[in-house]
Chain A
Amino acid sequence: MRSFRVRVGVGVLLLGGFVLVSAGRSGSAQVAAPATPALRLTAELIDGYQEARAHGWRFLPGQAIVRFKAGTTQMRRARALSALRGQPAVGSLEWIGDSAVVRDPTERDARLLVERLLDQPEVESAEPNYLRRLPATRFPGIAIENSAARPAGTPNDELYSRLQWNFNLLDMPSAWNINDGGSSSVIVGVIDTGVTTQQQTVTLPLFTGVSIQQVPMLFDVNPDLPATRLVSPRDFIFFAAGSPVVDMTGHGSHVSATIAEETNNALRLAGMAYRTKILPVKVCVGYWELMIANAQLNRPGFLVPPDEDGFCTESAISQGIRYAVDNGAKVINLSLGGSDASTLERDAITYAVQNGAFVSISAGNDFEDGNPTNYPASYAATIDGAMSVGAIGKSETRAHYSSTGTWVEIAAPGGDDRTPGSGEDSGVIWQSTLRFTDQDPSVIIPRFDRYNAIGYQGTSMAAPHVSALAALLRSQGVTDPKAIEAIIRATAKDLGDKGKDPSFGYGLIQPRAALFGRGLIR
């Protein structure tokens, strides 16, 4: 209670200061006028998420994904839906490809909803709308930026030599000699928590400890991933369509930075495919999105923060994949997952590959939590053109958290803070992203406009290495996702047991070998 009072007091003080700061910023010509975009994040999702957490469910209550048999008429669909307790109308279905989201708020346990749907002769398949997690852990430290000596041939980004062991492990400087960052014509869709696409101050409701207030919130673009590198952003979970995309946790920005952070700009760190473009798709939300949406509903109080950086729904993920593919993405990064199989996601990944997009999926961080099969990663093993990516640490051993299974296809650096003698970099993956102290749930007023070199570890961090390599291959004219997968496999450095194994798949990616290929003489 005492801490709550302290928090409230600090909140009031901070709010006053914050308003002043934002007022000062508004003089800048680049700052968009304060606006309050419509929210897509509804009470249904907030309450559903809280309810799911309370029950230990890994799905959204009151929702299911249904696929009707081919040729089922509207009338027959209506009949099938009438068998549900809430009798939702056919018109309320939210279509994603051949499947649709059914909402029946009267049936909270989605497993029962699915059971009823499967009993209907018109229904081909049904499943809950599963929640996915972001398999990443933020490292509690910010890199101090100052100039450092750099070895010849390495990027001039000031922290590159000190922190980006992962790129040296992959011998990226020699790979960049072959392909210096890819091409701006290659678009990588990052299906994640979003990437902030424009500098703006957005007035949003927020419970500040005393009451719900309209708070001007600062958003800015990562200077190391400028707006010119971002295309066709889209939000499928927080802001309504037409609003800019914002990242409020830093996960999506970090993942995107591994792929495409500006390089050789003497600022912070480097990205692997630093000339490619990012198509940010926001399908996951964290604490602050929930708080804002809750306040929008005029519901005061603090919410319990998510366990990790946030959560995503399989319906939003599937929509996001399809959107990215339809808008030109030729590589899709999915640094997310869960332990429940989803036909909807598998269909979306298949759609991506069929439309020429390579898909890289994190294998999951659940090795020490029962090591369940991870989805959608495990689908990659049966889809040529999609790869599931396990994580290794600095010593080229499996990261302690990295899930294993026959479905793990490839390995890339994901960081491992348990690697002995890691030194300054702590063995984790460093990229430029939101300064996490600005958005920690313990602050009263968050801000989303300051970036720094931040360390993360997880298969979330491994997957973008593979996405970036795919983007580099794509920029060299390898357009078939199956061919991209074949090259990445064939050139991998075998780790662990000989040949493909459950920890590393085919082994550690080798960018230079993949990009350079061979002539007559090997």
Chain B
Amino acid sequence: MRARWVTLSGLVLLSLAMPAAAQTPTLDAQTPPPRRPATVRAPRAVPVGARVFFALDSDTMTASKTFDAILGSSTLAAYGGGGEVLNIWRRVFVRGALTFVSKDGTRVQPSGDEFIPIGIPLTVTMRPFELGGGWRFGKSERDRVIPYVGGGLLLVGLKQKSTVPTETAESTSDSFTGTVLFGGVDLMPAGKFMAGAEVQFRSVPNAIGDDTTTSKERNLGGFTLRALVGLRIR
């Protein structure tokens, strides 16, 4: 990182110095041309850029029985957005993204491998925050199709709110840490606008439920299919 900044600083200084060089008197034809300093070769690196995106996710949860029982489905739709700093070193990028999913369901009682709905409404809200990085393939950000892979930490904020007739709604929230691996492709359909698709594998162990159920579903992770649209800023 520091080396990169040193390189960039060198480039900036060089560009400032170049006009001065242009004003120096013309040398004799016999005078050999000055040798180019070695640092000039640095611009072969891809310039730093950024992109911001809006994401639409389809999360298929690993704890399918639990989610099926409580929320009626183990596939949840989430939305959110994020940003990436691209090419911070060669083709490396870093990412931060936050998505949001909320769904109504019912509280349950686990019994063996079964979940018995008990008629108390429940609203579950999840906010997975991704902090990670990865590698973008290809030589340039000008490529029309750029595949990428990456991984990172996942911090999932989970909140559930139950509504019972005679009691103030009970709200419980907690946060859990896990990991995420992802891979996808960016498409550059027009200028700065980009679209993309991504698949993620998330693992958030020991987050939900308990060991009393036969299936012992405790992971809040799963597979995520993500559609992205956004802007790339050079």
List A residues at the B interface (Cβ < 8 Å): 176-180, 473, 476-478, 480, 483, 486-487, 490-491, 514-522
B124 touches A180 (CB 8 A): no
B118 touches A517 (CB 8 A): yes
List B residues at the A interface (Cβ < 8 Å): 66-67, 70, 105, 107-112, 114, 116-120, 122, 124, 158, 160, 162, 164-167, 172-174, 208-210, 212, 220
A517 touches B164 (CB 8 A): no
B110 touches A519 (CB 8 A): no
B109 touches A487 (CB 8 A): yes
A516 touches B120 (CB 8 A): yes
Instruction: Report how many A-B pairs have Cβ atoms within 8 Å.
Output: 88
CA distance A518 to B105 in the complex (A): 11
Across the two chains, which residue of chain A brings its CB closest to B161?
Answer: A519
Question: 16 A-B contacts, Cβ less than 8 Å apart?
Answer: A177-B167, A178-B120, A178-B166, A179-B164, A180-B166, A477-B118, A478-B109, A478-B117, A478-B118, A483-B111, A491-B109, A517-B116, A518-B209, A520-B67, A520-B124, A521-B173
A518 touches B108 (CB 8 A): yes
A486 touches B165 (CB 8 A): no
A486 touches B111 (CB 8 A): yes
B120 touches A490 (CB 8 A): no
B111 touches A519 (CB 8 A): no
B124 touches A478 (CB 8 A): no
A487 touches B116 (CB 8 A): yes
CA distance A487 to B110 in the complex (A): 8
**Inside 8 A of A473's CB, which chain B residues have their CB?**
118
B118 touches A520 (CB 8 A): no
Q: Given A486-B116, A490-B111, 10 more contacts at CB 8 Å? A: A476-B118, A483-B116, A486-B112, A487-B109, A515-B120, A516-B107, A517-B108, A517-B109, A518-B108, A520-B66
**Inside 8 A of B173's CB, which chain A residues have their CB?**
521
CA distance A487 to B167 in the complex (A): 22
Across the two chains, which residue of chain B brings its CB closest to A515?
Answer: B118
B166 touches A177 (CB 8 A): yes
CA distance A487 to B114 in the complex (A): 11
CA distance A516 to B109 in the complex (A): 8
- The 8 Å CB contact of A487, one of B111, B210, B212, is B111
**Inside 8 A of A522's CB, which chain B residues have their CB?**
208-210
CA distance A70 to B40 in the complex (A): 102
A476 touches B160 (CB 8 A): no
B160 touches A520 (CB 8 A): yes
**Inside 8 A of A516's CB, which chain B residues have their CB?**
107, 118, 120, 162, 164
B118 touches A490 (CB 8 A): no
CA distance A177 to B170 in the complex (A): 11
Across the two chains, which residue of chain B brings its CB closest to A482?
Answer: B111
Most A CB within 10 A of own CB, among B66, B111, B174: B111
B107 touches A517 (CB 8 A): yes
B124 touches A518 (CB 8 A): no
Q: A517-B120, A519-B122, A521-B208 are in contact. Are A490 and B107 (CB under 8 A)?
A: no
**Inside 8 A of B174's CB, which chain A residues have their CB?**
521
A180 touches B108 (CB 8 A): no
CA distance A473 to B174 in the complex (A): 28
Most B CB within 10 A of own CB, among A178, A487, A520: A520
Across the two chains, which residue of chain A brings its CB closest to B166?
Answer: A180
CA distance A478 to B67 in the complex (A): 19
- 3 smallest CB-CB distances across A and B, nearest first, come from A486-B111, A476-B119, A477-B119
Across the two chains, which residue of chain B brings its CB closest to A490?
Answer: B111
**Inside 8 A of A514's CB, which chain B residues have their CB?**
109
**Inside 8 A of A518's CB, which chain B residues have their CB?**
107-110, 209
Most B CB within 10 A of own CB, among A176, A177, A491: A177
B124 touches A519 (CB 8 A): yes
Most A CB within 10 A of own CB, among B66, B112, B116, B158: B116
B119 touches A519 (CB 8 A): no
**Inside 8 A of B164's CB, which chain A residues have their CB?**
177-179, 516
B166 touches A176 (CB 8 A): yes
Across the two chains, which residue of chain B brings its CB closest to A473?
Answer: B118
- The 8 Å CB contact of A478, one of B105, B116, B209, B210, is B116
CA distance A177 to B208 in the complex (A): 25
Minimum distance in angstroms from B223 CB to a CB of chain A: 18
CA distance A515 to B165 in the complex (A): 13
Most B CB within 10 A of own CB, among A178, A477, A480, A487: A178
**Inside 8 A of A515's CB, which chain B residues have their CB?**
118, 120
